Each structure stands twice: as structure tokens, then as C-alpha cells.
Amino acid sequence: MNSRDAILYEKEYLCPTYTRPDALFVKGIGSRVYDAEGNSYLDLVGGLGVLSLGHCHPVFVEEIKLQLQTLIHTSNLYHTELQLLLAKMLSELSLEGKVFFANSGAEANEAAIKLARLYRDGRFKILTAEGSFHGRTLATLSATAQEKVQKGFKPLVPHFSHFEFNNLSSIEIDEETSAIMVEPIQGERGVYPADKEFLEGLRKLCNKEDILLIFDEVQTGIGRTGSLFAYQEYGVIPDIITLAKGLGGGIPIGCMIARKGLGELLGPGMHASTLGGNPIATRAGLSVLSILNKELLAGVRENGNCLKEKLRRLPRIKEVRGMGLMIGIEIDGDANSVVKMCFKNGLLVNAPNSSCVRLLPPLIITKEEIDEGVSILKRVLNGL
Ligand SMILES: Cc1ncc(COP(=O)(O)O)c(C=O)c1O
């Protein structure tokens, strides 16, 4: 199949939910992907923040290959060792609580939403931030306070209310409220980091009202910010963390970690997933976590800072936001045109909205690759 066939097949057989460039990707190595015609692209999208180890990391590939030859799936009716080991590792690295495995970020958030409903009898309202993104299932798109995501799917799941991000005084807690769910950095809105005082304020408020603080770390988690979890950058500890994307390095996995005393509320039969945390997914999670060592995380922080500095010097830049290798570039011009022009020049970037270009490169990206990306962006921005 070539790139032209891909366009024909898409038209004929796929629901038209995505707008894609006219290319068919067939291979990936490190921070680079290749299309069917042999063109190469520097990948600063990283599978939307999924490819923590880049494309086809050799150790990751070997470990998954071995697992494929050993045990692929049993269902959650049975114990499998890797699931137990990954749960132990994630728990020890974060809240020292209990873990539930799912297959995606939305499913991880669904588990958190269900758990919040169990926390206090008769309380079922969850507060989320305007501009947030928590997924596309009915409950998570109701949590997602963005009209463009909800359009066409009303009536929504009730009992979600919204507050202004980074504005504590906009939060109204009543006797029905059970939890506040927030992204430490709002990714889909265009990479807006929370203020430290805001998250600290949320923590205090949740303690005072005895409600849960849920951090959606689906995009920020697993090293993206330079710490294993973004909450560690802020020094604010939530009651529940949700993860997905980078944890699987490209193999689907979702995960909810709940602090001690909370996870226990999800008793036998109350929640489940056929494939959640299966041996391939949990092998992937363990591989990612074992390769993401302190040195690599330090590199994420250093490369992220260096990249931001370089981006600030480019033409038509209004603002550069973000932490580690999660970066939003506010530009004076149409971000979608920048994405298209970068693509033509062999660079993958993404635009969460029409004024922001977002970068979520593999965490293993090199300084030389960063320079290459910046120089293509410069050329494109100069030509706007
Ligand atoms: C913060 C956040 N939460 C949840 C999701 C949904 O994850 P998934 O697409 O794996 O369901 C995303 C996806 O972009 C996200 O960025």
C-alpha cells in the first residue's frame, strides 16, 4: 500500500473522525518515522505523548517480543505476574495505594469517577476545570469542559460542574460534591500549567471539605514533565492519579492509582475490564518504567528547558508554555498552517487549537534532533 491508496481506503472504510495528512507511515526508529515512499519525518508529536521511549526502542521491542511468545492474555479472572509487579511498582513510586488497570486514559478516568461516587454516600458531583480534557466516553466528555468535544452528544452525564482553571475563588463546593478532577497541565487546551498556589489551594480545600482530589496525569505522567509524575513537580499529592499514554510506550494501557483506603471501595464485581492490565500491556509498562531512569528524567528537564529557550527566539512567537517535554507554542498566525508546512518539511508537530503548536516528543530525543526541529520550525515561521 502507498500513500495514495491510504487516502482511498480511508474515504471508503473509516469513520471520518480524523483529519490526516496524505501520507502512510510504515516504519519508526527513535524520534523518526518513515512513510511508504521513504520520506523521513522528525516526530515531535510522539504518538500524542505516548512514545516515551520513541519508536521501536530495542530493549522495549525485545521484551514485548518475548512476552508475546510466553503469555499474551488470560483475562482478569486470573493472576498474572507482570500485572502484580507493575501495580506494586506504580504504587511504590506514587501514592502507596491500590491500582486498577484499564486500556486508555478515558477508561482510567471512568474508574476514578466511579470511585469518587463511592467515596461519600449521596455525593456524586465532580468539579472539573474549564478547558479541561478527560476523554471521549460519555462520562469523561461530560467531565471535559469544552463545548467542541461535547457538541452533538447532549444530554450529557449529569453532576459535573466546572470552575475556572487557576482560579480558586471560582470553585463552589456544595453538599453533593465528592471530588475535584484536574490536569496539572492542561494539554488539549494548549499546554497551560497550573499555578503551584492553585494546586496547593485545591489540596487544602479538598482536605477541609473531605472530598477527593483527582489528578488526571494521562498526558503529564510517566516522565513527560521531567519528574515521573507532574504532581511531584508541584509537591501536591492527590488522592487519585490517572495514567495512560506514556505508560505503555505505544501499547494500550490505562491505570488509576488511588491512595490507601480508597481503592478498597471498589469491591468484587464493581468494576472490570477484560483486557485491562493484560500481560502485554503490563510488560510494556514495566519496560517503560525500567528504562526511564533518573538520568533520562534529568535529560527531559534539561532538553525541555533548552528547547523552550530556543523556541522563544523564533519569529512570530507570542508565548512558549510547558514543563519538560510538554510544550505549547502560542504563535502569531494559524497553527494549523504551521502543522501542514512543517509536515511538508519533514517535521511532525500538532495544533490543539488554531493558535497553539504543541510538542510532545519522545523522551529520548537528542539535542541534535531538537536543533533540527527548531531549525525547520524557524524556516516555516519565517515563511508565514
Ligand atoms: C489529560 C487527558 N486525559 C484523558 C485523555 C484521554 O485519553 P485516551 O485518548 O487514551 O482515552 C487524554 C487524551 O489526550 C488527555 O490528554
Instruction: Identify whether residues 75 and 24 lie together within a single domain.
Output: no
Q: Is the pLDDT of residue 210 over 90?
A: yes
Locus of grid cell 496547593: 200
Q: Which of 291, 307, 324 is the last residue of a domain?
A: 291
Q: What is the mean pLDDT of residues 191-197?
A: 98
Q: Is the pLDDT of residue 312 over 90?
A: yes
Instruction: Identify whether residues 120 and 202 lie together within a single domain.
Output: yes
Q: Name which residue sits closest to atom 4 of ligand 1, judged by CA.
A: 134
Q: Which of 291, 312, 330 is the last residue of a domain?
A: 291
Give the Å distances, CA to CA, from 181 to 143, 240, 307. 8, 9, 30
Instruction: Identify whether residues 63 and 51 lie together within a single domain.
Output: no
- Residues whose beta carbon lies within 6 Å of some atom of ligand 1: 104-106, 109, 133-135, 183, 187-188, 216, 218-219, 244
- What pLDDT is attached to residue 267? 96
Residue 122: band (very low, low, confident or very high) from pLDDT cuts 50, 70, 90? confident
DSSP 349: -
Instruction: Find the 133 Cα to ligand 1 centroid distance in Å.
Output: 7
Q: Name which residue sits closest to atom 7 of ligand 1, judged by CA.
A: 105
Alpha helices (H) along 36-154 = 46-49, 58-70, 81-93, 105-119, 138-143, 147-150
- What pLDDT is attached to residue 347? 98
Instruction: Find the 198 Cα to ligand 1 centroid distance in Å.
Output: 22
- What pLDDT is attached to residue 166? 98
What string of DSSP letters covers 221-279? TTTTTSSSSHHHHHT---SEEEE-HHHHTTS--EEEEE-TTTGGGS-TTSS--SSTT-H
Residue 42: which domain range?
Answer: 3-57+293-382
Going by C-alpha positions, the residue among 4, 12, 10 that lies closest to residue 36 is 4
- Mutating to test ligand 1, I would choose from 103, 126, 245, 255 the residue with most ligand atoms within 8 A of its C-beta, which is 245
Q: Is the pLDDT of residue 121 over 90?
A: no
Q: Is the pLDDT of residue 82 over 90?
A: yes
Going by C-alpha positions, the residue among 249, 241, 251, 370 that lies closest to residue 299 is 370
Residue 345: band (very low, low, confident or very high) from pLDDT cuts 50, 70, 90? very high
Instruction: Identify whether residues 173 and 159 lie together within a single domain.
Output: yes
Distance CA 83, CA 67 (A): 13
- Percent of the chain surpassing pLDDT 90: 99
Dihedral angle sign, alpha carbons of residues 306, 90, 184, 242: positive
Strands (E), the chain: 25-29, 32-35, 40-43, 98-102, 125-129, 160-163, 177-182, 185-186, 192-193, 212-216, 240-243, 254-258, 317-323, 326-331, 347-348, 350-353, 356-359
- What pLDDT is attached to residue 322? 98
- What pLDDT is attached to residue 189? 98
Instruction: Identify whether residues 284 and 365 lie together within a single domain.
Output: no
- What pLDDT is attached to residue 35? 98
Instruction: Find the 112 Cα to ligand 1 centroid distance in Å.
Output: 13
CATH number at residue 63: 3.40.640.10
Q: Is the pLDDT of residue 141 over 90?
A: yes
Q: What is the mean pLDDT of residues 41-45?
A: 98
Neighbours of 314 (CB within 10 A): 18
Instruction: Identify whether residues 202 and 248 lie together within a single domain.
Output: yes
- What pLDDT is attached to residue 200? 98
Q: Which of 291, 315, 339 is the last residue of a domain?
A: 291
CATH number at residue 22: 3.90.1150.10
- What pLDDT is attached to residue 163? 98
- For residue 128, what are the β-bridge partners? 162, 181
- Mutating to test ligand 1, I would choose from 126, 219, 220 the residue with most ligand atoms within 8 A of its C-beta, which is 219
Q: What is the mean pLDDT of residues 155-180?
A: 98
| pLDDT, the chain, mean | 98
Q: If you compute the radius of gyration of the chain from its CA atoms, what whole number of angstroms results? A: 21
pTM: 0.98
